[in-house]
Amino acid sequence: MIQLFNWFRRGSLERGLDRELQYHFERRVADLTAAGISEPEARRRVSGELGLTQVREEVRDVWLTRWFRDFFYDLRFSARSFLRSPGFTATTLLSLALGIGATTAIYSLVDQVILHALPVREPERLVLVDWNGDDPITYATGSFNLMPYPICRELQQQTRFLDGVLCRAEIEVNLTAGGDPRPVAAEIVSGSYFPVLGVGPALGRVIEPQDDAAPGAGPVVVLSYDFWQAQFGGAADIVGRKVLIGNHPMTVVGVAAAGFRGVDIGAVPAFWMPTSMCADANLDEDDLLNSPTRWLQILARLRSDVTLAQAQTGLQPWFKAWLQDSTLRPGFPRISADHRREYLATTLELTSAPQGHSVLRRNLAQPLWLLFAATGVLLGLACMNVAGLFLARGSARGREIGTRLALGASRGRIGRQLLADSLLLAVAGGVLGAAVALLAIRGLIAFLPHDLAANALSGALSLRLLTFAFFASVAAGLVSGLAPALHASGGSLVSSLRERAGTGFGGVRLRKCIVTLQVSFSLILLVVAALFLRTLTGLLAKGPGFDTSNLLSFAIAPTQNAYSDADASRLVRRLDEQLRTLPVASSSAAARFAFLTGGAWSNKVTIQTDRRTVSDGIINFNAVSPGFFSTLGVRVFAGRDFDKSDTLPVGEIGPRCAIVNQAFVKRYLAGRDPLGVLIARGGSSDVKPNSRIVGVVADMSYRGVRDNSEQVFFPLFAHDDTGATFYIKVRGAPEQAIPSIRRLVRQDDPRLPILWFRTLDDQVNRSLNTERLLAALSGSFGALALLLSLVGLYGVMSFVVTRRTREIGIRLALGATGASAIRLVLRDAVAMIAAGMAIALPCVAALGRLVQSQLFGVTATDPATVAAAALVLAAGALAAAFIPAWRASNVSPTDALRLE
Amino acid sequence: MPSPRFPIPQGTLDMLILQILALEPAHGYGVAQRLEQISRSVVQVNQGSLYPALHRLQQKGWLRAEWKQSETGREAKFYSLTPSGRRQLAVEKDSWARLCGAVNLIFEEGSR
């Protein structure tokens, strides 16, 4: 590496050498003249002795070593020749930068989500302990690897195989620390959590086994380093401070080590608290030590002398005994003999978990690998195109290279020059690609699902990532430079000098095939992108079915702050009342469940007309306060909205009523008057339809914008309503109304946090996240593939034109017109484009079925969409092919023939 | 006039330079003069090959160089041995001695 250093200070090295040699020269001359030789003669002799030029060259070789020096000169030569042909340089740079950038961006996620081990002691020995099979108590399918707490405790005794066992669960709690209460994500963990992971404190202490010794034993929390920095400004006196979790006072005993963000990359906790305090986190665990509820994940550390398979086999006898034992415990449900057998046949499963446990990883692993493979293919195509462009350029430089060979340059030397070309280009492309990647990663992360518990994904370029980008660039450079380099150094010298516009068409057919495939590939992607784009615009144009302008919503969950159901209901009613009188609110209403968040309250419905029917599908329910429909601007088609008369005192149950939407009427009450019909939630035979339909409203979206399901609304204040989302139509800008609404809630209960504040415009946007992600991903992939196939087409056509210059020249000399030359070249291109489209169209039809379920308002084979995509592709492709064709038509016959 | 001196054997120049500089630091011209004196004009050193050798030895970390006033009052680049250069000299002397011994042994064998 000293050579590299020398390269950068070669100026000062040269000056030093000059002075040194000058000194030698003059001393020698002085000595010789002193010995009586005339000065000119002395100078001549010394020059002969020293051989200054030769000495300088040899010393330079010492500094840089020969190949290194040559390589740098090659790079300089390459850089100059690139600057001379900016069009070529820009095209190749762009395709490499996009290819490398896309690959690096996806790799960043692959690395962070899938590959990166937890920053804990010996993460490779961590295993996830899972219960393989259904259990009859909760019928948990194990999709979240949930386990009951008692197992964790007993597993800790299995020290023959395990070096420690921890359990943890993700929770959301209301935290009050000084200012306003707010909801935060946290991790509730066993006392063994920190010791087993080997994570220490940055300040104070971590949670220790005695905090978790018995229920209620340790009212302590340990803050995460990031949360401590962000929320408490890294206050040094944080240890010993009291905070409120819900309504329960807890003491901050420490801050965990910096860089440790829990065991789930997709859910970063603000703090940790011991499982002994689960009652304080409002988890319904009356009997923590014996409860069979599966609510935690268990991670264990294997003993260093035990393999995963040994531990798994070794633990089964113990687990069998535990299962047997558990059936005898009080509270074990009565189950059939079959069920019992199934239960006893379940096993314990260990899987290696150096990256911890993450739902995000489970959901994203497969799509990420797929995306990574796709970007890899794109990068490969980009390399192939650049190789094609190089070949086209190389054949134009054939004479130059031939001349250099004739003058004595070695073939290796020429090949190396061409490799230097592509390496320089690729590394420059890599630098640009890193910038592209930076933008792309941020975009991708923004699209990932995120709720309260933010994910720990970082959009920054880490050293790992830069290393990856560098190796990707060098690989791309080698791949795209190898073909031209071999081509240049492999041809016979005589033929390359004799060959003017020769007949050597080697590899052109293969490249035409590749370009054809690229064209079809990009047409498929373009069609898919167009479909997703139309879906997104269609959904945006459709809207949620209500007027979102100036509409604001916020939610509260008072039971999380230890409200009784009746008190919670009173609070919701009170707030609803007060919000209506706020000067900034033109109207206001509340609903039990929030709209457009993906979830819904749903069940079958029993309908009593002249006969009793049960809905064949699931109906979505909500309970809303009087004035809800007018606040949202939803039309009431028949009957009436809810009013005061539907409201019952807290805790009282009386006559009920319901409002249904048009879709419900159309499907289940077609042709009859819906008003007065009795319905009820549930489809079993003991359900009594006792809610009278009093109104019919227009359809509106519930789970998401796409959703126009059958819906039934009940009056909000006829039950105990334990939580609510408020919808407020405000005067003026929604953001300006937020402080006064916040003040109103705080006046009522300063400890009650507002879960979220959102404008409905924002909510609509959020609910379209998946659609937007699909449109953006397929759009950028489509654009990338299109661009690459155009570059590929351009490259291969340029190559062909250069090769046929002489033939075209002769044709022109014999009287062919320029237009006919253009036609000659374009004919080739059109054949490739047409073939590509012919391949793509059946694929589009086949793939269409796969994406159909994701589409809205457009079929997968929509002729207009396919035609538009094909048109874009054809126009671009013809333009790309036209440039070399135009060059062909401008071949001067005399020049082309004089080359002979 | 045919030169009575024979050219320096391949690879021994480095060793000689190290030996000269082991006595005292010197500049390039000084090393050249010293080489001539020490070898009593028996060994012929191509003056041009001296500088690549000096730079090579410096790059290997066996020599260090600094600009100092020379005996004529002008600034000259003086080379001196580093500790690792000193070790290298010992190694080379040792292997040279063994080589000479081995060659002598063969010659004596042949002349017997």
Q: What is the CATH number of the domain that holds B37?
A: 1.10.10.10
Residue linked to tokens 């023939």: A897
Distance from CA of B74 to the nearest CA of A (A): 8
Range among A399-403, A523-527, A762-766 rated most confident: A523-527
In this complex, do A23 and B70 lie within 8 Å of one another by their Cβ atoms? yes
Distance CA A187, CA A170 (A): 5
B28 contacts chain A (CB < 8 A): yes
The more confidently predicted of residues A377 and A533 is A533
Contact A795, A885 (CB under 8 A): no
pLDDT in the model for residue A223 = 94
- Quick check: A808 and A824 in contact, CB under 8 A? yes
Closest CA to A145 of A391, A361, A399: A361
Taking alpha carbons only, the member of A89, A103, A98 closest to residue A425 is A89
Strands A601-603 and A619-624: antiparallel
Nearest to A49 among B47, B72, B76 (CB): B47
Using the beta-carbon criterion (under 8 Å), do A27 and B72 form an inter-chain contact? yes
Structural contact between residues A859 and A535, judged by C-beta atoms closer than 8 angstroms: no
Q: Is A58 on the interface with B (CB under 8 A)?
A: yes
CB-based contact B51 A20, cutoff 8 Å = yes
Element (H, E) at A545: none
Q: In B, which residues are within 8 Å of A69 by CB distance?
A: none
Q: Is B29 in CB contact (< 8 Å) with chain A?
A: yes
pLDDT at residue A447, as a whole number:
74
Res A722 pLDDT > 90: no
The residue-averaged pLDDT of A158-186 equals 86
Res A697 pLDDT > 90: yes
Domain contains B1: no
Please check whether residue B5 touches A, CB under 8 A: no
Between strands A294-302 and A162-176, the pairing is antiparallel
Closest residue of chain B to A28, computed from CA coordinates: B29
HEC assignment per residue over A294-347: EEEEEEEEECCCCCHHHHHHHHHHHHHHHHHHHHCCCCCCCCCHHHHHHHHCCE
Nearest by CB to B47, which of A23, A50, A58?
A: A50
**Nearest residue to A97 via CA among A406, A429, A469, A427:** A429
pLDDT digits (tens, 9 = 90+) for A124-141: 999 999 887 665 555 444
Q: What is the dihedral of CA A372, A376, A379, A383, to 10 degrees?
A: 170
E strands present in A293-388: 294-302, 347-352
Q: Which two tokens stand for residue A202?
A: 């940055």
**How far is Cα A335 from Cα A346, in angstroms, rounded to an integer?**
15
- CB proximity B15 to A under 8 Å: no
pLDDT of A229: 92
Q: Do B51 and A16 touch (CB under 8 A)?
A: no
Lowest-confidence range among A249-258, A288-297, A578-587, B40-49? Answer: B40-49
Residue of B nearest to A6 (CA): B59
- Taking the Cβ of residue A17 and every Cβ of chain B, the question of whether any pair is shorter than 8 Å is answered with yes
Q: Which of A269-283, A439-453, A858-872 has the lowest mean pLDDT?
A: A439-453
Q: What percentage of residues in chain A have a pLDDT greater than 90?
A: 18
pLDDT band at A507 (very low <50, low <70, confident <90, very high): low
pLDDT bracket for residue A221 (50, 70, 90): very high
Token pair listed for A665 = 């009427």
Domain count for chain B, please give it: 1
Cross-chain residue pair B28–A24, CB shorter than 8 Å: yes
Q: What is the pTM of this model?
A: 0.68
Percent of chain A having pLDDT more than 70?
Answer: 92
CB contact under 8 A, B52 and A59: yes
**Which pLDDT does position B1 carry in this prediction?**
38
- Given a contact cutoff of 8 angstroms between Cβ atoms, the answer to whether A590 and A715 are in contact is no
Average pLDDT of chain B is 82
The residue of chain B with its CA nearest to that of A55 is B48
CB contact under 8 A, B28 and A63: no
Find chain A residues with C-beta within 8 A of B34's C-beta: none
pLDDT, residue A809, reads 84
- The Cβ of residue A367 has, within 10 Å, a number of other Cβ atoms equal to 11
For residue A50, give the chain B residue with the closest CA. Answer: B48
Instruction: Write down the pLDDT at residue A616.
Output: 86
B56 within a domain of the structure (yes/no): yes
Residue A720 has a pLDDT of 61
What region does A676 belong to: left with phi over 0, alpha with psi -120 to 50, or beta? left
Residues 6+ apart with CB under 8 A from A176: A182, A243, A244, A751
Chain A contact for B70, CB < 8 A? Answer: yes
The residues that bridge with B65 in the sheet, in sequence order, are B79
Cβ-nearest to B48 among A17, A51, A61: A51
Residue whose pair of structure tokens reads 């038509």 in the numeric block:
A889
β-strands A126-132, B63-69 pairing: unpaired
Mean pLDDT over all residues of chain A?
83
Residue of A2, A17, A50 lying closest to B48 (CB–CB)? A50
Are A323 and A346 a contacting pair, CB within 8 Å?
A: yes
How crowded is residue A839: how many other Cβ atoms within 10 Å of its Cβ? 16
Q: Do B48 and A28 touch (CB under 8 A)?
A: no
- Has residue A255 got a pLDDT over 90? yes
Contact A784, A378 (CB under 8 A): yes
A897 near A813, Cβ under 8 Å? yes
Task: Establish, for the pair of chains A and B, how many residue pairs have beta carbons separated by less than 8 Å.
Answer: 50
**3 state SS of A612:** strand
- Asked if B48 lies within 8 A of A55 by C-beta distance, the reply is yes
CB contact under 8 A, B52 and A19: no
Q: What is the CA radius of gyration of chain B?
A: 16
- Which residue bears the tokens 């340029």? A798
Task: Tell how strand A656-661 and strand A711-715 pair up.
Answer: antiparallel
CB proximity A581 to B under 8 Å: no
The answer to whether the beta carbons of residues A241 and A177 sit under 8 Å apart is yes
Per-residue pLDDT at A358: 80
**pLDDT value for B39:** 66
How far B97 CA sits from the closest chain A CA (Å)?
A: 28
- Nearest-CA neighbor of A477 among A411, A395, A416? A416
DSSP state of A558: G
Contact status, residue A146 vs residue A210, Cβ threshold 8 Å: no
Contact residues, chain B, for A28 at CB < 8 Å: 29
Per-residue buried b or exposed e for A773-785, using 16+ beta carbons within 10 Å of the residue's own CB: bbbbbbbbbbebb
Of A540 and A412, the structure prediction assigns the larger pLDDT to A540
A274-285 burial, b at 16+ Cβ within 10 Å, e below that, comes to bbbbbebbbbeb
Note whether A149 and A289 are within 8 A (CB): yes
Question: How far is residue A588's CA from residue A764's CA, in Å, rounded to a whole number?
Answer: 19
Nearest to A481 by CA among A386, A599, A349: A386
Distance CA B99, CA A683 (A): 103
By C-alpha distance, the chain B residue nearest A56 is B52
Q: Do residue B28 and residue A23 have CB atoms under 8 angstroms apart?
A: yes
* DSSP helix/strand/coil, A750: coil
Residue A502 has pLDDT above 70, yes or no: no
Tell me: the pLDDT tens digits for A447-472?
776 656 567 777 777 888 888 888 88
Q: Which tokens hold the place of B55?
A: 């730079």
Residues of B in contact with A57 (CB under 8 A): none
The two three-digit tokens of residue A532, written as one number:
């997703």
Over residues A198-221, the mean pLDDT reads 90
Segment A138-148 mean pLDDT: 62
d(CA A486, CA A703): 60
What is the Cα gyration radius of chain A? 37
Q: Do A62 and B52 touch (CB under 8 A)?
A: yes
Residue of B nearest to A22 (CA): B76
pLDDT at A152 over 50: yes
Under the banding of pLDDT at 50, 70 and 90, the label for residue A503 is very low
Q: Which residue on chain B is closest to A46 by alpha carbon? A: B47
Q: Take residue A624 and report the two structure tokens written for it.
A: 């809303």
Binned at pLDDT 50, 70 and 90, residue A300 comes out as very high
Q: Is the pLDDT of residue A758 over 90?
A: no
Round to whole Å and give the CA distance between A321 and A76: 75
Phi, psi torsion values for A176, nearest 5 degrees: -115, 120
User: Scanning every residue of chain B, which has its alpha carbon at the shortest distance from the alpha carbon of A45?
Assistant: B47
Name the residue among A2, A23, A50 with its Cβ closest to that of B76. A23
A4/B contact by beta carbon, under 8 A: no
pLDDT at B6 over 70: no
Measure in Å the smallest separation between the Cα of A490 and chain B Cα atoms: 36
The predicted structure's pLDDT at residue A299: 93
Domain holding B46, by residue range, is 6-111
Selecting from B29, B52, B59 the residue whose C-beta is nearest the C-beta of A23 gives B29
Nearest residue to A522 via CA among A772, A792, A770: A792
Helices (H) and strands (E) in chain A, counts: 27, 24
- A89 confidence band (pLDDT: 50, 70, 90): confident
pLDDT confidence tier of residue A735, bands split at 50, 70 and 90: confident
Is B77's CB within 8 Å of A49's CB? no
Q: Of B29, B52, B76, which has the smallest distance from its Cβ to A28's Cβ?
A: B29
Q: What is the DSSP letter of A117?
A: P
CA A47, CA A24: separation in Å to the nearest integer?
11
* Residue that the structure tokens 């100026």 belong to: A11
Given an 8 Å threshold on Cβ–Cβ distance, is B77 in contact with A27? no
pLDDT at A501 over 50: no
Q: Which long-range contacts link A608-612 to residues 24+ away (Cβ below 8 Å)?
A: A608/A677, A608/A678, A608/A679, A608/A680, A608/A689, A609/A669, A609/A672, A609/A677, A612/A689
Pairing of strands A711-715, A601-603: unpaired
Distance from CA of A49 to the nearest CA of B (A): 6
**Residues 111-140 of chain A whose Cβ lies under 8 A from any Cβ of chain B:** none
Give the pLDDT confidence score for residue A210 in this predicted structure.
Answer: 92
Measured between CB atoms, which of B28, B59, B76 is closest to A62? B59
Buried b (16+ CB within 10 A) or exposed e, A224-254: bbbbbeebbeeeeebbebebbbbebebebbb
Residue B83 covered by a domain:
yes
Q: Chain B within 8 Å of A400 (Cβ-Cβ)? A: no
Could you tell me if B69 lies within 8 Å of chain A, comparing CB atoms? Answer: no
- Mutation target for B interface from A9, A18, A24: give the one with most B CBs within 10 A: A24
Pairwise CB contact (< 8 Å): A23 & B74: yes
